[in-house]
Chain A
Amino acid sequence: DAKTTQPTSMDCAEGRAANLPCNHSTISGNEYVYWYRQIHSQGPQYIIHGLKNNETNEMASLIITEDRKSSTLILPHATLRDTAVYYCIVPPPPEGGSNYKLTFGKGTLLTVNP
């Protein structure tokens, strides 16, 4: 599995952009980078994923470096409800084409302050 490294915690002011970094220096060419988050006591929530190009959806943007060894999740206008643990995950390639095993590490606790 490609190991990911994230800061333990970060703070962000409400209304400002939150930039969450992730290192995945051992990522291989066909492995995607996924971001999930878990708001307290809820189930994990999918945010975004990408392979090599930058991606944007209604929740966030994902910036992947050209060498793919790191990425940044950007929440453009953080709100108090974005306070959560954010997980950067690189699932291993499927075995037999049918595996999708998310490995949740400790993630980054993002606290959005008023």
Chain B
Amino acid sequence: EAGVTQFPSHSVIEKGQTVTLRCDPISGHDNLYWYRRVMGKEIKFLLHFVKESKQDESGMPNNRFLAERTGGTYSTLKVQPAELEDSGVYFCASSRRGPLLNTEAFFGQGTRLTVV
């Protein structure tokens, strides 16, 4: 079984440009999450999808960030326009449907975004 896949693994863009990160969850996992780790800080929750619906986007930093999950399969996280403070590692995770307090989340290897 393939794990959670994230693409690209690294991205370096200039301030003001647009970047789109992609996450392919484990097949059959309805729940998909985005997290972010900014340099020197803790891993922070960004948002949660159940299938194609956004269940909780309370962690999204501002309206420069747009997450989508059309069709309830893979998800994209677009940053437009990117700012220097957006640099960090973006993690995606997925978990299967079911009692959410009794199941684990599987994380991808992350996308390291550097805005220069």
Interface residues of chain A, those whose CB is within 8 Å of chain B, are 30-32, 34, 38, 42-46, 49, 51, 91, 93-106
**Interface readout for B24-58 with A: 1 if CB under 8 Å, 0 if not?**
00000001010100000011110010100001100
Query: Is the C-beta of B60 less than 8 angstroms from some C-beta in chain A?
Result: no
Residues of B within 8 A of A103 (CB): 45
B74: Cβ under 8 A from any A Cβ: no
Instruction: Count A-B pairs with CB separation below 8 Å.
Output: 65
In residues 7-23 of chain B, which contact A (Cβ within 8 Å)?
none
Partner of B31, one of A42, A43, A100, A104: A100
| Smallest Cβ-Cβ distance to B42: which chain A residue | A104
Verify B91–A44 contact, CB threshold 8 A. Answer: yes
Instruction: Assess the B105–A102 pair: CB atoms within 8 A.
Output: yes
A97 contacts B100, C-beta separation under 8 Å? yes
Looking at chain B's contact residues, the main secondary structure is strand
**C-alpha spacing A17/B75, complex, angstroms:** 40
CA distance A88 to B10 in the complex (A): 28
- Would A43 and B101 be within 8 Å (CB), given that A99-B48, A101-B48, A101-B56 are in contact? no
B contact set with A: CB distance below 8 Å? 4, 31, 33, 35, 42-45, 48, 50, 55-56, 59, 91, 93, 95, 100-110
Residues of A within 8 A of B103 (CB): 100
Residue in contact with B104 in the complex, picked from A34, A42, A94, CB distance below 8 Å: A34
Task: Assess the B48–A100 pair: CB atoms within 8 A.
Answer: yes
19 A-B pairs with CB atoms under 8 Å apart are A30-B101, A32-B101, A38-B43, A43-B91, A43-B108, A43-B109, A43-B110, A44-B107, A94-B100, A94-B101, A96-B55, A99-B56, A100-B33, A100-B48, A100-B95, A100-B101, A101-B45, A101-B48, A102-B105
What residue of chain A has the Cβ atom nearest to residue B47's Cβ? A101
A42 to B104, CA, bound (A): 17
Give the complex CA separation of A32 and B100 in angstroms: 10
CB distance from B42 to the nearest CB of A (A): 5
Known: A30-B101, A43-B110, A46-B104. 9 other contacts (CB 8 A): A43-B108, A43-B109, A44-B43, A46-B105, A99-B100, A102-B93, A104-B35, A104-B42, A105-B42
